Structure 1
Amino acid sequence: MLHKRFGHDKTGLETRFDAQRIAFAPIVFQATRLLRSTGLLEAVEGRGAEGMTAAEAATETGLSSYAATVLLECGLSADLVAYDNGKFVITTLGAFIRRDEMTAVNMEFIHEVCYLGMHKLEDALKRGEPAGLRVFGEWKTVYEALAHLPENAKSAWLRFDHFYSDAAFPAASRIVLERQPKTLLDIGCNTGKWASLCLARSPELCASLVDLPNQLEMAMQNLREKGLGDRAVPCPVDVLDPHAELPSGFDAVWMSQFLVCFSEDEVRTILRRAGRALRPGGRLWILDTFWDTQRFDAAAYCLINTSPYFTAIANGNSRMYRAEDILALAREEGLALQTTHERLGIYHSLLELAPG
């Protein structure tokens, strides 16, 4: 894993080059995004091993020769294209970036949601507030702002959130529904996708949805459109208020990619109240992307570097946690781990906990 293998011996020249890669990373990011979105990578790849000149690429994409030259030469520095006899040829990395959905989802999320606000990361770290969120307006958290974000930013945020959670939902729902719960409390229901899946698969299940009013309105509308609204109850609760109790008596309490949205102290209060929401024999389920449980360095890299988004944009005080971080907090609140289900979807682990 990345946290065990991170770093290796390099020559002085290699180290200097790596340092410059970091220094120019924001520029390379934007150039790469445009190489993809303008069709330059597609045009170059279409010529195969023959390649094409910058002028030919400009003609094919409608860009000026200057714009095509600037972007393709940046792509050369990033190993997205090679250059030989005046022509650019696609590389393996360039072809991958052009096609890979995960890369596209991550790239648009960084560009639309994070890029401008990340300039305020230092302020956010010092003040414990999402100082970068102000690029969108005066909001305390991104969750309050979500329904009001510009359409491109809202779409990128939802696509990023759903891309990862949706891949894990089918396997996770089978695990949860094996216990045949009759009542489900979905804390942080977002757009209602999880509740919708469970209600569709279990006709006897009833779900209560907890979120902020704007999110609940979106979730309930989605459930009603699928004919599932009659078995869903909206419960507007600000979980940031430690005195706001959750409804109780549930067979299953569910949280997906939720606790990463809160500080450790806030996680404690949420877990405490979630435990009280369970009936005897009930289970608390936590689905999340813990960076210490990943098999691949790329996965851990992405997760660790999502933490500054929470700092500067989302709320100012949370991060991507290790599984052990959450389990330690759960133990403090009287919750015991029953089972861990690993490698669901792309990055996810599912923790099954119970009071005791």
Structure 2
Amino acid sequence: MKKELSALDAKYEAQKIAFGPLYFQAVMAMLELGVLELIGKHRNGISLSDLKEKSDVSEYGVEVLVEAAETIDVVRKNESGLYQITKIGFYLLKDEMTRVNLNYMKYVCYKGADFMKESITTGRPMGLKTLGNWPTLYEGLSQFPDDVKKAWFDFDHYYSDDAFPHALEIVFRENPARIFDVGGNTGKWAIACCKYSPEVKVTILDLPGQLNVARENARQNDLSDRIAFHQINLLDDAQKIPAGADAIWMSQFLDCFSKSEILQILKNAHQAAGENTFLYIMEPFFDNQRYEAAKYSLVATSLYFTIMANGNSKMYSVDLMKSLVAEAGFELAEEFSLIGDSYHTILKCKKK
């Protein structure tokens, strides 16, 4: 249980929320203008006048940005009156997770966040209109502006790539000859599987826009003969996952859907699965994390689903996912928790 704050501290925390958007944009400006990097390079500190000269930012601009950064402990003034970077500033400048999250918030979510109330009341991603006119984000993903697309894929890949080496070991313990990559997106997992095993063949199941990207990536990796493509909209219950897979793989896929939609998709996978087919679900469950920063980021990601993705999905708890797996007719064969140094748990499931 968290320690109860004093009234004064609680009021201060409330102001952090009130002014949070401005401080966020101030930090982004410092990063993009190179001001924070300059401060970080001067271990003994740097003056405002030197910052102005070396950054080519006006005296006024340097002052307001540095004062904001000092207020939120991104930089601090030393005994000589010079500005130095803090540990928080270091992570903003150098940490990959923080960089990915910052860019994701700015390019994908920031403008859309203004439509939070409308998204909650309608159950639709009302912030998505800031990027384009699509019913859900996934239908427009391949058409995003380049900076938005880069931020989205950097975020998506960051929270999966570290898990892939360990996930490959887990999946290939069963020596699958054919894998169905459901929601395969750019084909990154399918390509990794083919490079891991020279015999395996993979079919990517996804929407047409994503399949076009995956098809090109497979071609560039000389894997067009081993990676097949199956167009499917899994929200259409009439479209069935075909039979024939030894392994059905879903990585950071089910969190893109509501509970009822997840159950529908899992039942679809159940009808496709044979007696010896394993279903693998890899997700960063918010309640199964090593660090508070990871949980904090994942819970915030639920709000992204609310405003931008589809208006009805979220990051889930591991127990909720297990209950949906069981309701769909699968049993849990094994659970691999927080594989490697990742945020992910893999649920290995088999048809009852």
TM-score normalised over the length of structure 1: 0.96
Kept in 2, the 8 Å contact 1:185–1:210? The answer is yes
Kept in 1, the 8 Å contact 2:111–2:130? The answer is yes
Name which of 171, 193, 200 aligns with 1:198: 193
Q: Which amino acid aligns with 1:57?
A: L
Cα distance in 1 between the residues matched to 2:129 and 2:73: 35
Shift of 1:147: 1.1
Name which of 6, 9, 14 aligns with 1:14: 9
Q: Which amino acid aligns with 1:115?
A: Y
* Structure 2 counterpart of 1:351: 347
Unaligned runs of 5+ in 2: none
Shift of 1:178: 1.1
Name which of 83, 94, 97 aligns with 2:92: 97
Unaligned runs of 5+ in 1: none
Shift of 1:86: 4.1
Shift of 1:283: 0.3
Cα distance in 1 between the residues matched to 2:196 and 2:342: 22
> How many pairs align?
350
1:196-233 Cα offsets, whole Å, 9 max, x none, are 01111112211111000110111011111111110121
* Structure 2 counterpart of 1:137: 132
* Structure 1 counterpart of 2:271: 276
SS of corresponding position for 2:304: helix
1:55-96 Cα offsets, whole Å, 9 max, x none, are 211111111111111110000011011124543222121122
99-108 or 226-235: bigger deviation: 226-235
Kept in 1, the 8 Å contact 2:274–2:351? The answer is no
Name which of 177, 180, 183 aligns with 1:182: 177
Q: Which amino acid aligns with 1:246?
A: I
Cα distance in 1 between the residues matched to 2:64 and 2:57: 11
Q: Are residue 244 (structure 1) and residue 239 (structure 2) matched? A: yes
Cα distance in 1 between the residues matched to 2:131 and 2:27: 24
Cα distance in 2 between the residues matched to 1:242 and 1:13: 54
* Structure 1 counterpart of 2:35: 40
Q: Are residue 80 (structure 1) and residue 100 (structure 2) matched? A: no
Cα distance in 2 between the residues matched to 1:231 and 1:276: 24
Q: Which amino acid aligns with 1:60?
A: K
* Structure 1 counterpart of 2:165: 170
SS of corresponding position for 2:195: helix
* Structure 2 counterpart of 1:114: 109
Cα distance in 2 between the residues matched to 1:13 and 1:124: 33
Cα distance in 2 between the residues matched to 1:137 and 1:94: 34
* Structure 2 counterpart of 1:125: 120
* Structure 1 counterpart of 2:294: 299
* Pairwise CA RMSD: 1.1
Find runs of 4+ consecutive structure 1 residues off by over 3 angstroms: none
* Structure 2 counterpart of 1:232: 227
TM-score normalised over the length of structure 2: 0.97
Kept in 2, the 8 Å contact 1:210–1:235? The answer is yes
* Structure 1 counterpart of 2:58: 64
Shift of 1:37: 2.2
SS of corresponding position for 2:281: strand
Name which of 38, 55, 60 aligns with 2:49: 55
Q: Are residue 210 (structure 1) and residue 213 (structure 2) matched? A: no
SS of corresponding position for 2:246: strand
Kept in 2, the 8 Å contact 1:184–1:252? The answer is yes
Shift of 1:264: 0.6
* Structure 1 counterpart of 2:328: 333
Cα distance in 2 between the residues matched to 1:97 and 1:136: 26
